[in-house]
Amino acid sequence: MKFGGSCLQDARSYTQTAEIIRIYIGKSRLVIVASAMKDITDKLIDFYVKTCNEDLGCESILNNINSIHRKLIEQLMNFESIEYEKSIIFLKKNIEELTQLGHVIKLIRPSIEIQDLIISYGEKLSTFILTQYLNSLGIKSKYFPSNELILTDDNFGNALPLLNDTEALINEDLVPLLKSEPDLTSCITGFFASTKEDKKITTLGRGGTDLTAAIIAYSLRNIFDTRVIYWKDVKGLLDADPKISKKTSLLKQISYIEAKELSFFGTKVLHPLCLDVSEKGNVPSEIRSFNEPDSDEFTTITKESVEDGNVIKAITSIYKLSMVTLESDTMIPLSGTASKLFSLLGDNNVNLVFISQSSSENNITFGIDFEDSKKVSFLLRNSDLFGKNWFRIKINNDISLVAVIGAGVLHTPGIAGKVFTTLGNNNINILAIAQGSSELNFTAIIERKDCVKAINVLYDAFII
């Protein structure tokens, strides 16, 4: 089970977390993965930045972090208990270490490596306190720092897990305990891990606790019948964005490939990589509501997609997008032009959202993030090849992308036709179409003024 910052923000939410754990205890072996308390990672980053800049404010940030955790400990545990005492000692020791690190930063060159080390303290504190709190309630628990269980490459700040090495380590250090003490709740820190050789702390990127949970479940899959539950402040994944669509409903069952497609188009409920890891290990996931743990309204994500007669599972959109059209009667058909174009964009870190080329081959159209529009215009107009006058460059900054999503879109006749008729009947002009990022969606590019209407009419046509 994964608990994020909003499940761990104060004494009330810690109590709710313990209530949820109680529901499952005795029924299955439990491994808990916890992130830092709400906002603590941001505060630690702020501490790091201010320390680097020798800003005097850095001391008060540590005082603030200290008092948030101290208040939590005081509210959760009886001050005469051993758990209270252990928590206070742990907090004191860790705040001292952070203070020391602050002194070190002033002496050496700042680096993302040190930043990772510093921000790992958020998870250490929240998870250790959770472990002690559970013990104080009679729920036998053990604390595991994740750098002793998860190995990554040395891409600090956004490290990638080494799945095989991690699986071996977990088999050695966690599995024996899970086997011998089925009632013990293991509490593992989320977000951080360690490099393989020199055992330096790395982090998995913001929101990385989701990924920690997926990696641990992956590593246990061959030994136990494993599933991951992500406790969130939403019920699960929805079939459209509630900010745009008048109607939405919960997706009760969806496949990993479809869920990844949803996250590509902006539904960022889970860290994107954890869907890949769970799909690879064939581990089912559930997204459940932290505030309604007993509810049967939740999303299950599995490897296989479930046929329910409806090919289209969701309608999604990217509201703000720019579209570039490169035209040239003579040049575009020449082989190598597209490759030069995409290398130029790739070398300059431009993210391509869609690409479409007409078969007459005298233009290439592609979508980019709105924020990249000026950069792309500059790159093209100053390029030796595309800046010459036999290319015409048009950039439209007022477009949106709408997509219908579902496994089997490509193999189902009539989907594209239905998108065209639906939008056409509602006077929505289609500027370009694309088979999106994969065969799981059919994408239409429209003017931004039509986006909200398009989502709603497509929802009515495909989902209701």
Please give the residue ranges that form the binding site for Mg ion (CB under 5 A). 5, 35
- Give the E-state strand segments of 373-451 in sequence order: 392-405, 430-434, 441-447
CB nearer to Mg ion: pick between 4 and 236: 4
Looking at residue 206, the DSSP 8-state letter turns out to be T
CB nearer to ligand ASP: pick between 286 and 447: 286
Residue 462, classed as helix, strand or coil, is helix
CB nearer to Mg ion: pick between 5 and 367: 5
In the complex, what is the shortest distance from the CB of residue 233 to ligand ASP, in angstroms, rounded to a whole number?
Answer: 13
In the complex, what is the shortest distance from the CB of residue 223 to ligand ASP, in angstroms, rounded to a whole number?
Answer: 25
Token reading at 6: 């909003």
Token reading at 78: 């009886």
In the complex, what is the shortest distance from the CB of residue 121 to ligand ASP, in angstroms, rounded to a whole number?
Answer: 11
- First and final C-alpha spacing in the chain: 33
CB nearer to Mg ion: pick between 233 and 329: 233
Token reading at 38: 């709400």
CB nearer to ligand ASP: pick between 253 and 289: 289
Q: What is the DSSP string of 320-384?
A: EEEEEEEE-TTTTTSTTHHHHHHHHHHHTTPPEEEEEE-TT-SEEEEEEEGGGHHHHHHHHHTST
Q: Name the burial class of residue 65, with classes exposed (0-12), middle (13-18) and buried (19+) by CB atoms within 10 angstroms of its CB.
A: buried
The Cα 122–Cα 94 span in angstroms is 10
Note the maximum CA span of the chain: 83
> Which residue's Cβ lies closest to ligand ASP?
209
In the complex, what is the shortest distance from the CB of residue 208 to Mg ion, in angstroms, rounded to a whole number?
Answer: 9
CB nearer to ligand ASP: pick between 145 and 436: 145
- Contact by Cβ (8 Å): 369, 376: no
Query: Which entry of Mg ion, ligand ASP, none binds 281, CB below 5 to 8 A by partner kind?
Result: none
In the complex, what is the shortest distance from the CB of residue 193 to Mg ion, in angstroms, rounded to a whole number?
Answer: 16
In the complex, what is the shortest distance from the CB of residue 190 to ligand ASP, in angstroms, rounded to a whole number?
Answer: 5
> Who contacts 295 (Cβ-Cβ below 8 Å, separation ≥6)?
235, 288, 289
In the complex, what is the shortest distance from the CB of residue 205 to ligand ASP, in angstroms, rounded to a whole number?
Answer: 8
CB nearer to ligand ASP: pick between 5 and 145: 5
Query: Which entry of Mg ion, ligand ASP, none binds 236, CB below 5 to 8 A by partner kind?
Result: none
- Contact by Cβ (8 Å): 59, 25: no
Looking at residue 80, the DSSP 8-state letter turns out to be T
> Which residue's Cβ lies closest to Mg ion?
5
Query: Which entry of ligand ASP, Mg ion, none binds 145, CB below 5 to 8 A by partner kind?
Result: none
Q: What is the DSSP string of 168-204?
A: HHHHHHTHHHHHH-TTPEEEEE-SEEEETTT--EEE-
CB nearer to Mg ion: pick between 268 and 381: 268
In the complex, what is the shortest distance from the CB of residue 316 to ligand ASP, in angstroms, rounded to a whole number?
Answer: 23
| Length of the chain, in residues | 464
Query: Which entry of ligand ASP, Mg ion, none binds 255, CB below 5 to 8 A by partner kind?
Result: none
Q: What is the DSSP string of 111-169?
A: -HHHHHHHHHHHHHHHHHHHHHHHHHTT--EEEE-GGGT-EE-S-TTSPPB-HHHHHHH
Query: Which entry of ligand ASP, Mg ion, none binds 115, CB below 5 to 8 A by partner kind?
Result: none
CB nearer to Mg ion: pick between 5 and 406: 5
Residues of this chain that bind ligand ASP (CB under 6 A): 4-5, 35-36, 41, 122, 190-191, 206-209
In the complex, what is the shortest distance from the CB of residue 261 to Mg ion, in angstroms, rounded to a whole number?
Answer: 24
